[in-house]
Amino acid sequence: MKAAMIHIGNLFFKYRNQAFPLIIVTLFLMTLPPSEIGGSVTAERVKDVVALLILLAGLALRATVIGYAYIQRGGLKKRVYAADLVTEGMFGVCRNPLFVGNMLIYAAVFLLHGNPMVVVVGIALFMLIYQCIVHAEEAFLENKFGDAYRAYCADVPRWMLRFGNFALATHGMVFNAKRVIAKDYSTVSAALLAVLLIEIYGVAGAANALSLPYLSLLVFFVAVVGAATGMVSLLKKRGVFNEATAACRARAKFLQSRSLRNGFVTTPLPNRGGKHYISHAGPRAGYGDK
């Protein structure tokens, strides 16, 4: 049984970027989101609020993970891989904190749809898939790191968040907000677009004249999110979120202003590096985003 789950986990790890959206779209196309729960508009609104809170919790967890201890994501050549065993930051609280964050986001997306079949099947299916991926990663990590990984597993839960470990696991570390933006802006964008598209799907299914202004507003927000994502991507390529690049630019600006005050002009040398990489791979082999 476990061998089969490892095989399935390796398969989904390799094709997760294609499989996950396909699964979601397939489930959503099977039925329209209900406009009410049990005939109650209030219950529907409460459900939506709960779903959004769950989604925000997932994004916040991912931000905390990446802000304290970034890992090299995506494995190596689409296969499970880890160069080092990283146990600090949120990886000292939970062995798979990014997966927990992902599951919260996916659960919120299915809950926003609202159809009971979609909610139950979607959440159960993604839980099974992630469990298989974790089995595949654990097999790789135990084979590579041996006793060190087994000791880590004995101290840190696979899925539960042991917040009592947080202070010790992050001792001496500094939260890196720029890294969160640079590495996770696409996840935030995808989550926001999912929320908007689900709402558009439901409103369009209602097909009444009163929904047209609301649909136009939703489409406008989709355009705003798309534009913001493109802007962040452009800034990332220019190195704005890179600490070394920002420091070099500040230094160059200071030298240039001082040179002007002294009556001559200097041309700052370009930053040839461009990017600063943190080459840690987590205690798990990699998260399934780009």
- Between CA 242 and CA 106 the distance in angstroms is 30
Q: Cα-flanking dihedrals φ and ψ of residue 88, to 5°?
A: -90, 180
- Between CA 33 and CA 115 the distance in angstroms is 6
The residue extents of the domains of the chain are 2-181
- The predicted pLDDT at position 203 comes to 83
Q: Are 89 and 69 in contact (CB under 8 A)?
A: yes
- Between CA 82 and CA 284 the distance in angstroms is 7
Going by pLDDT thresholds of 50, 70 and 90, the confidence category of residue 2 is confident
Single out the residue of 97, 88, 96, 87 nearest to residue 152, CA to CA: 87
- Matching CATH number, 2-181, of 1.20.120.1630, 2.60.40.650, 3.90.320.10, 1.10.260.40: 1.20.120.1630
Q: How far is CA 122 from CA 34, 105, 160, 194, in A?
A: 16, 12, 21, 15
Q: What is the pLDDT of residues 116-125, one digit of tens each?
A: 999 999 999 9
CA dihedral 242, 243, 249, 250 (to 10 degrees): 150
Q: What is the pTM of this model?
A: 0.80
Going by pLDDT thresholds of 50, 70 and 90, the confidence category of residue 53 is very high
Q: How far is CA 127 from CA 64, 106, 218, in A?
A: 22, 10, 30
Give me the helix-helix angle, 116-145 and 147-155, nearest 10°: 140
Q: What is the pLDDT of residues 201-237, one digit of tens each?
A: 888 776 665 578 888 899 999 999 999 999 999 999 9
* 247, pLDDT greater than 50: no
**DSSP H stretches of helix in 31-174:** 41-68, 97-113, 116-145, 147-155, 166-169
Q: What is the pLDDT of residues 87-130, one digit of tens each?
A: 889 999 999 999 999 999 999 999 999 999 999 999 999 999 99
